[in-house]
Amino acid sequence: MVIEQVGLLQSMAHRLTRLAHLYEQGQASPLMARTIDKILAYEADLARTQIAQLQTDLAEFEEQYTLSSVEFYQQYQAGQTDDRMDFVEWASLVQMMQNLHARLALLTDEDEM
């Protein structure tokens, strides 16, 4: 399974490299440009939707523990919290949020944090 995924990723990376070469050579059609723009916009909208859901989930933890997620995560990373399941979940949500913001920044060429 993992070997198949690596092969698929390499194949996709190769195709994207070929597409980049077409753009560099001025050989991309308007249809290609519109399609890529639509894909990027779709993925950015999906990331924004996921961020909104995570913000709701994080707000519940922040209200419950009267602590911002930023402050909590700093404490968690420093080992200043215990290992209760809520804290593990909260930390995972913070990491997911960070990953989604990084993804959105790549998709949109801007930082929307």
User: What is the per-residue pLDDT across 43-97, written as a single tens digit (0 to 9) for each?
Assistant: 999 999 999 999 999 999 999 999 999 999 999 999 999 989 999 999 999 999 9
* 22-53 residue pLDDT tens: 999 999 899 999 999 999 999 999 999 999 99
**So what's the pLDDT on residue 112?**
47
CA 7/CA 11 separation, integer angstroms: 6
CA Rg value for the chain: 19
Say if CB 46 and CB 100 are below 8 A apart: no
pTM of the model: 0.81
If DSSP codes are grouped into helix, strand and coil, which group holds residue 29? coil
Say yes or no to pLDDT of 100 above 60. Answer: yes
CA 34/CA 21 separation, integer angstroms: 17
If DSSP codes are grouped into helix, strand and coil, which group holds residue 13? helix
- Report residue 14 as tokens: 């190769």
- Report residue 27 as tokens: 């050989």
Domain extents in the chain: 29-108
CA 44/CA 37 separation, integer angstroms: 10
- In degrees and rounded to multiples of 5, residue 83 shows phi and psi of -100, 25
